[in-house]
Copies of this chain bind each other. A is one copy, B any other.
């Protein structure tokens, strides 16, 4: 049974050993005889002992907590963030760590606060932008960290992200296999491109890399009517277009409408593939194949890298996750 305020001294008394011995059994930092260890573990279980997190952090200078800083901002797809969070928590727990949630609007001073108060051992920064004011602070603080995304100068930082070049290529490949000779990619709104040039360009590069295909990339706003207009313009400018990749979550539904209005039969004489979360691709008719941002894998990788850094190991500066195409 869980008791109120069970301390290491209680465990030690019940097992008939010194408190330090209990500590060593639990941490494994010194060798302890199996008999003693058994007795200690039994006492721990009997009393429902869990070390006091504050005391531990004070004495060992390790909090057992990592922070995740989330963007709260337009353009990020919320479900993906949530999957990310879930994946990160799950992985962190596997390393016996907890996860503290921060939002980007705490900004650099929030980072300074958590670093100075030693409330966390490390940090995962999500949705890093090309010019991100937090990055400089992070460098200065020396708090172990992993970034999701790539800032302009990623020298010496640990960054993890989807391999967007590969994602673009996968889409082009899919369309080519369906027999499309002329293809286009409908991208995110201009604003997103401005903020994160890097990733937009990588998608373009991948999408256009397949030889023998006439491809193009054009940005696309989020609003229904403008989406419709963009699609119409595209279709009249490129009458032989038969393949379309859409990398803009909120637009997908409207794109499908515009195509239907234009008499295109998706899945038959016209093909569409989505870069985005499953939900978006599932909730239109017909359902579309999609390349998803593997949020869970990204989160796992980020947490693992951070753990290795906390343990003093080296990790690769840059890690790109392979995209996966889901057919429907």
Binding site for B on A (CB under 8 A): 2, 4, 6, 48-58, 63, 65, 68, 70, 72, 78-79, 81-83, 85-86, 89-90, 93, 98-103, 105-106, 112-119, 140-142, 224, 250, 253-254, 257, 279, 282-285, 287
Contacts and interface: CB of A to CB of B under 8 A. Distances in A.
A103 B118 contact: no
30 contacts: A2-B116, A6-B116, A50-B112, A50-B117, A51-B117, A52-B117, A52-B118, A53-B117, A54-B56, A54-B58, A54-B63, A57-B57, A65-B100, A70-B85, A70-B86, A78-B79, A78-B82, A79-B79, A85-B85, A85-B101, A89-B101, A98-B100, A98-B101, A98-B114, A100-B100, A224-B282, A253-B283, A253-B285, A254-B283, A257-B285
B57 A53 contact: yes
Q: Which 8 A-B pairs have the closest CB atoms?
A: A54-B57, A78-B79, A50-B116, A53-B119, A54-B58, A78-B82, A50-B117, A54-B54
A119 B78 CA distance: 28
A282 to B, nearest CB: 8
Given A82-B78, A82-B81, A101-B99, A113 B250 contact: no
A287 B227 CA distance: 14
A22 to B, nearest CB: 15
Nearest to A88: B101
A86 B55 CA distance: 29
Contact of A283 (B63, B85, B250): B250
A282 B254 CA distance: 10
Contacts of A50: 112-113, 116-117
Contact of A90 (B89, B103, B115): B103
A48 B108 CA distance: 13
A48 B112 contact: yes
Contact of A58 (B52, B112, B141, B284): B52
Given A53-B63, A53-B118, A98-B102, 12 more contacts: A2-B115, A2-B140, A50-B113, A53-B54, A53-B119, A54-B55, A54-B56, A54-B118, A78-B82, A78-B83, A98-B114, A254-B285
A114 B97 CA distance: 12
A116 B79 contact: no
Nearest to A102: B89
A281 to B, nearest CB: 12
A253 B284 contact: yes
A46 B82 CA distance: 38
Given A141-B2, A254-B285, A98 B119 contact: yes
Contacts of A6: 116
* Most-contacted residue by chain B among A55, A68, A86, A113 (CB, 10 A): A86
Nearest to A115: B2
A95 to B, nearest CB: 14
Contacts of A114: 98
A83 B283 CA distance: 21
Nearest to A6: B116
Nearest to A116: B50
